[in-house]
Amino acid sequence: MSADVLAVAEHRRGDLRDVSFELVTAGRELADATGGDLHVAVISGDVDGFAEELSLDGVDVVHTVDYGEEFNHDVYVQAVEALYDEVDPTAVVMPNSVNGLDYAPAVAERLALPLVTDAVGFEWDGALTATREMYGSKVETTVEVESERVAVTIRGGEWPAEETHDGAEVRAFDFEPDEDAIRSTVTGFEEVGAGDVDISEAEVLVSVGRGIEEEENIELVQRLADALGATLSSSRPIVDNGWLPKNRQVGQSGKVVTPKVYIAVGISGAVQHVAGMKGAETIVAINTDPNAPIFDIADYGIVGDLFEVVPELIEEFGGE
């Protein structure tokens, strides 16, 4: 076993995703602690172009796997397994993205590696110790891995992106997958959430979350939006319940918005939601729970019952 770290980059439809550059930072941090090299793998797509972009400060080797165009987990699992045999790393670092969760657990299972997912921090002292959240960000935990080898997925946005270019060695990896073992086929992509309203264009958003409790109460928040001349958006549970259409959803799987003012009403601020609105210029939160994570990123807040506060606000702005 070497002390090296293998990080697996992510791309979609021709572009490396942000988490790939964060993986370089996280992977380098870990390799510094283990005393090894950082290897980055890029699988499928324009691997030569991607390798150039990934020739970043701190990267020792970029391995390109030129097979197929888009992500396919059967290809990824085989390619990472083959690279693991080649590099013999102590740690494999992958993104905790939707696609990361589609192959990392299979990689870990196949290679008999302990798996830590959704790490927000880690340390190395002969073995990995990771920081993870539980109970929807209400607590943080320390998880110790009892193994010298480990597979870990990292949460996006927790490590800074490495952007400094530096010449890394690029190696074309000789890889022929077992095509009989590719039993899933990606047939296309679909953009969802199109519709009459584009919330990412709005200057002021009033966003409603789980705290609204019932579908008929949505109308109260709509009246606030109307009184403020704002657009109504929401967090995920509201769309899951079918109370608002998908094009109103702010967050990781919905829209990323950067309005001048974002008013979160009854939204606790789960990490997936925050990923979609933390770029707002001013964030206002109204929530009954003073410990709700939304207050960590809010500029202004009211700890209170939205059913009491919102009608007062509507009145302030002369709404009906």
Partner 1 sequence: MKVLVTVKEVAEVEDDFEIDGTGVDDRYLEYDLNEWDDYAVEEAVQLQEAGDDIEVVSVTIGPERAEETIRMALAKGVDRAIRVWDDALDQDLLDTATKARVFRAVVEEEEPDLILTGVQAGDDAFGATGVALAESVGQEWAAVVNQLDIDHLLAENVARVHRELEGGVEELTDVELPAVLTIQTGINEPRYASLRGIRQAQSKEIAPKTLADLGLEAGDVESSLFLTEMYEPESESDATLFEGSAEETAAELASVLREKGVGAE
* CA angle, residues 164, 167, 171, in degrees to nearest 5: 125
DSSP symbol at 153: E
The reply on whether position 273 binds partner 1 by CB under 8 A is: no
| Residue of the chain from 3, 33, 143, 197 that contacts partner 1 (CB under 8 A) | 143
Within 92-111, the residues that bind partner 1 by CB under 8 A are 96-99, 101-106, 108-110
| Residue of the chain from 133, 175, 210, 220 that contacts partner 1 (CB under 8 A) | 133
Least separation in angstroms between residue 228's CB and partner 1 is 5
Least separation in angstroms between residue 201's CB and partner 1 is 14
Whether residue 173 contacts residue 82, with contact meaning beta carbons closer than 8 Å, is answered with yes
Least separation in angstroms between residue 42's CB and partner 1 is 18
Parallel/antiparallel/unpaired status of strands 38-43 and 150-154: unpaired
The reply on whether position 197 binds partner 1 by CB under 8 A is: no
Please choose, out of 47-55, 57-65, 137-145, 166-174, the segment that lies near partner 1 by the rule CB under 8 A. 137-145
Long-range pairs for 116-121: beta carbons < 8 A, 24 or more residues apart: 116/143, 116/145, 116/150, 116/151, 116/152, 116/153, 117/152, 117/153, 118/153, 118/154, 118/155, 119/152, 119/153, 119/154, 119/155, 119/158, 120/154, 120/155, 120/158, 121/158
The reply on whether position 279 binds partner 1 by CB under 8 A is: no
Q: From residue 196, how far is each of 72, 193, 201, 245, 256 by CA, in Å?
A: 33, 10, 12, 10, 17
Least separation in angstroms between residue 287's CB and partner 1 is 10
Residues 136 and 139: their CA atoms lie apart, in Å, by 8
How many residues lie near partner 1 (CB under 8 A)?
98
| Residue of the chain from 184, 196, 214, 320 that contacts partner 1 (CB under 8 A) | 184
Least separation in angstroms between residue 68's CB and partner 1 is 14
Residues 114 and 132: their CA atoms lie apart, in Å, by 15
Within 112-131, the residues that bind partner 1 by CB under 8 A are 112, 114-118, 129
Residues 116 and 119: their CA atoms lie apart, in Å, by 7
Please choose, out of 45-53, 164-172, 211-219, 300-308, the segment that lies near partner 1 by the rule CB under 8 A. 300-308
| Residue of the chain from 163, 198, 213, 299 that contacts partner 1 (CB under 8 A) | 299
Torsion sign across C-alpha atoms 172, 177, 183, 185: positive
The reply on whether position 134 binds partner 1 by CB under 8 A is: yes
Residues 130 and 316: their CA atoms lie apart, in Å, by 48
Within 228-267, the residues that bind partner 1 by CB under 8 A are 228-230, 236-237, 239-242, 246, 249, 252-256, 260-261
Nearer to partner 1, 27 or 237 (CB): 237
Nearer to partner 1, 59 or 218 (CB): 218
Nearer to partner 1, 1 or 112 (CB): 112
Give the type of residue at 35.
G
Residues 24 and 54: their CA atoms lie apart, in Å, by 8
Within 36-55, the residues that bind partner 1 by CB under 8 A are none
